[in-house]
């Protein structure tokens, strides 16, 4: 089982963390570890080809703060998906 701590020294996860901050995708932060883990999984499995696939990929992760757009934008920025 990999946890967010398991990605502490991971360059892809570092890029995701930075993008979440840059795009304002971290508000209360409650969902952020799960979102980073899911985004990392999606990117490692080539499932971030466009914003639709990112939205489908994170649909099981709930965020009560951001409205998801900022999270999708952050993941798209790192994965190279057109936003
Ligand atoms: Fe608050 Fe997602 S940032 S639940």
Q: Which of 21, 30, 61 to mutate to test the pocket of ligand 1 (most atoms within 8 A of CB)?
A: 30
- Residue 35's Cβ-count burial label (10 Å; 0-12, 13-18, 19+) is buried
Contact (CB, 8 A) for 54 and 42: yes
Q: How confident is the model over 57-81, as pLDDT tens digits?
A: 999 999 999 999 999 999 999 999 8
The predicted model scores a pTM of 0.93
Q: Determine the length of the chain.
A: 83
CA distance to 30, 46, 78, per residue, from 64 (Å): 9, 27, 23
Task: Give the pLDDT of residue 83.
Answer: 67
Which residues approach ligand 1 with their CB closer than 6 A?
Answer: 26-31, 63-66
Q: How confident is the model over 3-55, as pLDDT tens digits?
A: 999 999 999 999 999 999 999 999 999 999 999 999 999 999 988 889 999 99
Alpha-carbon gap, residue 77 to 56, rounded angstroms: 17
Q: How far is the CA of 81 from the centre of ligand 1 (A)?
A: 22
Q: How far is the CA of 39 from the centre of ligand 1 (A)?
A: 15
């Amino acid at each position: 089982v990999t946890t967010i701590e398991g990605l502490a020294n991971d360059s892809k996860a570092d890029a995701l963390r930075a993008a979440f901050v840059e795009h304002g995708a971290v508000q209360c932060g409650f969902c952020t570890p799960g979102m980073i883990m899911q985004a990392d999984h999606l990117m490692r499995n080539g499932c971030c080809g466009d914003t639709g696939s990112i939205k489908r990929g994170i649909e099981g992760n709930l965020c009560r703060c951001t409205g998801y757009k900022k999270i999708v934008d952050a993941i798209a920025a790192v994965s190279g998906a057109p936003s």
